[in-house]
Amino acid sequence: MVVDDSVVIRGMISRWIGAESDMQVTASFRTGLDAVNQLERVNPDVAVLDIEMPDLDGISALPQLLAKKRDLVIIMASTLTRRNAEISLKALSLGAADYIPKPESTREAGAAETFRHDLIQKIRHLGAKVRRRAAVVASPALIPAQDKAREVAPRPATAQQGLVRRPFGMLAPKVLLIGSSTGGPQALMALVAEIGPVIDRFPVLITQHMPPTFTTILAEHLARASRRPAHEAVDGETVKAGQIYLAPGGRHMRVARHGAEITIALDDGPPVNFCKPAVDPMFTSAIDVWQGGIMSVILTGMGSDGMRGGKDIVAAGGSVIAQDEATSVVWGMPGAAANAGICAAVLPLKEIGPKLNRLFAGDRS
């Protein structure tokens, strides 16, 4: 279901979706009020919901849509303004699955193509989770037993089958690196609220797949959630304990050592793993600085960003923790790391913070 007051945007998104063999548009509406009133009739799996609309805007329509259909996947769409970034992050806390920035002008071929690619991928990955759950409810006999267990009763991390675990690195960690994407903002805010003792004594660097402006707002939210200083990283600034450094939207964040000083190095290079900022550049650059004293965490997100950098961290003597499938919005990034056999632990989100506190306090198991 496409909900946007722009006939151009509605038509464009509908054409893109219609061109995909595995999805279709059930309806398109001009206002949030129309979407709420017609939801039960059209019964979509996914809704692309504009923020600014007449009669009933997106943020007001969101809770009404979820009240009528709890498992509806809602992707908020908005232009890149500070106000819309704030609203999009608020929408995540109210139950939206994800957000996507709309290009300022659909006439720019590159911007429109990036928007199309990102939107289709989000619909496909987020929608697939809903369809699997629906299949379990509708025809349990058609679903393999192991898939039933995963969908109906999420398993604890210790019961996930076939995942190779490796021991935590022997060196005491000197830094915490975190990578995340889809579902990341809410996961990050929950995590930083639990790891105050780590932040106080060690630097924390975060790369979240996010555009400019959105990262500015996210940094402010992380500061409030952690009650610790958090900001978008600045090129050339010194990395210190007690600070959270967030990669700014549109730039990769790396680290470099200059004598006894460790500094942030931002660059405007091409996307890595289709992302900018990307997690892998942060991970790999940290090895030259901290060698085996790296603790890295890969949270919920689409794709496999962080897996290659995580391999390098483990090879250097560091450690990787991944969020488990049951608590991830999308088990792409953490799943890639887990399935690559590089993780020392695969944990539910609520267990990652306490585990980090113990590890940074000296626990090596």
**Per-residue pLDDT tens digits for 1-26:** 999 999 999 999 999 999 999 999 99
Whether 168 shows a pLDDT value over 80: the answer reads yes
pLDDT for 156: 40
Establish whether 221 is a catalytic residue: no
- Whose tokens are 């548009």? That residue is 25
Phi and psi based region of residue 336 (left: phi greater than 0; alpha: psi -120 to 50; beta: remaining): alpha
Q: What is the mean pLDDT of residues 167-195?
A: 97
User: Which residue of the set 34, 98, 305, 324 is catalytic?
Assistant: 305
Alpha helices in 43-140 (DSSP H): 58-68, 82-93, 109-138
Q: What is the mean pLDDT of residues 81-107?
A: 89
Judge whether 330 and 125 are in contact, CB under 8 Å. yes
3-class secondary-structure state, position 13: helix
Whether 47 shows a pLDDT value over 70: the answer reads yes
Least confident among 44-48, 78-82, 217-221 = 78-82
Q: What is the DSSP string of 24-42?
A: ----EESSHHHHHHHHHHH
How many Cα neighbours within 13 Å face the side chain of 223?
Answer: 13
pLDDT for 365: 77
CA distance 288 to 316: 9
Mean residue pLDDT across the chain: 91
Whether 90 shows a pLDDT value over 50: the answer reads yes
Which domains are seen in the chain, by residue range? 2-146 (3.40.50.2300), 157-360 (3.40.50.180)
pTM: 0.89
| CB within 8 Å of 37: residues ≥ 6 apart | none
Judge whether 83 and 57 are in contact, CB under 8 Å. no
Spatial CA neighbour of 230 closest among 209, 252, 208: 208
pLDDT for 128: 83
pLDDT for 205: 98
Q: What is the mean pLDDT of residues 334-340?
A: 97
Establish whether 305 is a catalytic residue: yes
Establish whether 181 is a catalytic residue: yes
Model pLDDT for residues 123-161, shown as the tens digit of each residue: 999 998 766 666 555 555 444 443 433 333 334 444 455
Whether 318 shows a pLDDT value over 70: the answer reads yes
CA distance 198 to 333: 24
- The one-letter amino acid code at 296 reads S
CA distance 160 to 150: 9
Calculate what percentage of the chain has a pLDDT beyond 90: 83
CA distance 181 to 99: 11
Burial of 362 (0-12, 13-18, 19+ CB in 10 A): exposed
Q: What is the mean pLDDT of residues 240-266?
A: 96
- The one-letter amino acid code at 58 reads G
Whether 263 shows a pLDDT value over 70: the answer reads yes
Joined tokens for residue 234: 């600045």
Spatial CA neighbour of 157 closest among 320, 336, 342, 347: 347
pLDDT for 107: 63
Spatial CA neighbour of 44 closest among 65, 61, 63, 62: 65
Largest Cα–Cα distance of the chain, in whole Å? Answer: 65
Judge whether 66 and 39 are in contact, CB under 8 Å. no
> Per residue in 167-178, is it b (16+ CB within 10 Å) or e — as a string?
ebbebebbbbbb
Least confident among 40-54, 94-108, 318-332 = 94-108
pLDDT for 136: 55
CA distance 248 to 230: 12
Judge whether 1 and 27 are in contact, CB under 8 Å. yes
Length of the chain: 365
pLDDT for 163: 82
Whether 347 shows a pLDDT value over 90: the answer reads yes
* H or E segment and range at residue 49: strand 46-50
User: Which residue of the set 45, 98, 209, 296 is catalytic?
Assistant: 209
Whether 238 shows a pLDDT value over 50: the answer reads yes
Whether 253 shows a pLDDT value over 60: the answer reads yes
